[in-house]
Chains A and B, each alone.
Chain A
Amino acid sequence: MKTKTKLQASGQPLSLGRRIIQFRELYLFLLPGVLLLILFNYLPLYGILIAFKDFKVKLGILGSPWSEPVLKYFNRLFSMPMFPVILRNTLILSFYSLLAGFPLPIILALLINSSPGKHYKKIVQTITYAPHFISIVIIVGMINIFFSPSTGIIVNILHKLGLMSGNLEVLMTAGAFPHLYVWSGVWQSIGWNSIIYLGALSGVDASLHEAAIVDGASKLQRVIHIDFPSILPTIVILMILNSGSIMNVGFEKVFLMQNSFNTSMSEVINTYVYKIGIKEAQYSLSAAIGLFNSVVNFIMIILVNQLSKRLDQGSLW
């Protein structure tokens, strides 16, 4: 204890080793987390080797021979005639999902937070959360029943109202696929995703609002100048984290929504790999594609983080 006081008093920075010894109890608390990270996130990284090897289960990861050339599976991926199409489709779906799906929960949270009616608030929250608990299979089933070209609910309503005749072409038009995919996703997740922002909003100091009211600020002005800036750090962090999963378009939903008409827009990396690779137990190819996705995600997360830093909006590191 005496040493600590002496060193701190002298203003010298402590070396890491000394710091660990000195604050060993605190570092001990850190140990479980670090161990878990090493065990489950760093040690398995050596499995990436599969992407560069002709993996054989019997020989194991280290024992399998290197593929010739080493980048054989990457070459195969990039030389697939469909690769540009599936990459484009993947990026369209993920960026569109991010653009449409990211701001709306924030707006919903701000609206719910500013609403004076407690009961009304609760009802809106429950209704918007509910779709989150419906499984993807059911959601896709609902989409098909609602938008079915000649027998669907929507086409029947439009026919009854005299607004349309003939078939509803939504499911039969490739261009409509991204909209259907993204907006059904927004509908399903908007309520659930707004929870974290509502949590952040509940922490906003009430005195700020009181002071603003005294100064004559309108409701909208308070949302813009108090609520929004308060949750901005949360928004930025979530934005950075979301950009790190840009290549991970949900496989099940896309796969289930595919039909003969929309594959030109709906074939994404995950569904394509499933069709040509996973079912055929092509571990090396799957690992190569997984690694490619991770590298793109990694680059994205660094770019967005740097951008956010530049704009002085906070960052992950």
Chain B
Amino acid sequence: MTSPGSSSTRAIARPLTDEEVARIRNDFPILDQLVNGHPLNYLDSGATSQNPLSVMEAEQEFYEQRNSAVHRGAHTLAFGATETFEAARATVAAFIGAEADEIVWTSNATEGINLVAYSFSNASLGLGGPAARRFALGAGDEIVVTEMEHHANLIPWQQLALRTGATLRFIPVQDDGTLDLAAAAGVIGARTRLLAVTHASNVLGTINPVAELVALARGVGALVLLDACQSVPHLPVDVAALDVDFAVFSGHKMLGPTGIGVLFGKAELLADMPPFLTGGSMITTVDMHTAEFLAPPQRFEAGTQRISQAIALAAAVDYLTETGMARIAAREAELGQRLVEGLDQIPGVRLLGPPAGVERIGLASFDLAGVHAHDVGQYLDEAGIAVRIGHHCAQPLHRRLGVTASTRASTYLYTTTDEVDRFLATLAEVAPFFGVTT
């Protein structure tokens, strides 16, 4: 099972060494602090990552020297701001193997998915003319998602189905946390118009076989949207090689600031899609009754943009590129295995997702028998260890796995092996503390 641009690259890359990680940590001032009297052990990068100095400096430098509205105004500052803003777009495009005009800025991945859903919704109402008809959905059409989706890649499609009369279908998850591809071949069929699937699961750590899924979708003429929130920050991703039609990800999960996300769309698709948000900066000619719209990506960027955030995100991409995505991925693959092998040694722990030895991103979620995730998280926090607890915005997946909540430890390029080991050692104390014998 190889997916282009990820596993094959990772196999040959040399992981970041402990010494390199120690140097990387110097760039992240937030990591150097005590929490409840213990060194902060930040294992929640899957929720939000930390910013290196260069990202914060890029944002500050913009506000100190070039702050101005983009794509309007003829003065020098506005011109400089526009140039930097568009250079950021080109940086992010190159990072994922896309063209600059295929990158639409959004607030986050959630907005990117909603943008596609509402554009399809508008096409279903006849907006966008004949060219947009191929995005129109109605009764008899099917949208396919998987059982492991984050709510962000589920609810917008539920709502689109409700608005258009289309039907939502699911690819089931197997007990080992992988998708049931045999079932997928049955679910994806002649009525399928769109397949929306996550590249890497934010709960299970599973890396999905995108090539196989895209092949199934292509076989029936369906479009593919990839939720790349947990892949673009952690793996080398080439959207052209993966041949997906849309991909979304969030800046704050990849060393960037909050408030900025990316929608990638193939140029020929974006060109035919009606807009979602409308208003200033996305039009050509306007009269009191009608408006004509700019070409993508501006068509989808109404109103004043997230300028400093986009520029800071480009600085984050530069940081990741200089460090080397393949080497980051190789490092996190090691940490991910260290996590699951350690979890296997702790009595009462049930790992969610692929077992040790199977490819996963550098995170692991688990259930500890007899102790609720909130109590696990409280005990770890007292030791300075930050983890995510709850349903991780994936209630249907947790229901499928027979748990209501879980605890997740997620790593990034600044995570040390010692931090993983301290987390495991502290976790081993939790069940005895709560009087649970296993």
* A, B in one complex: no
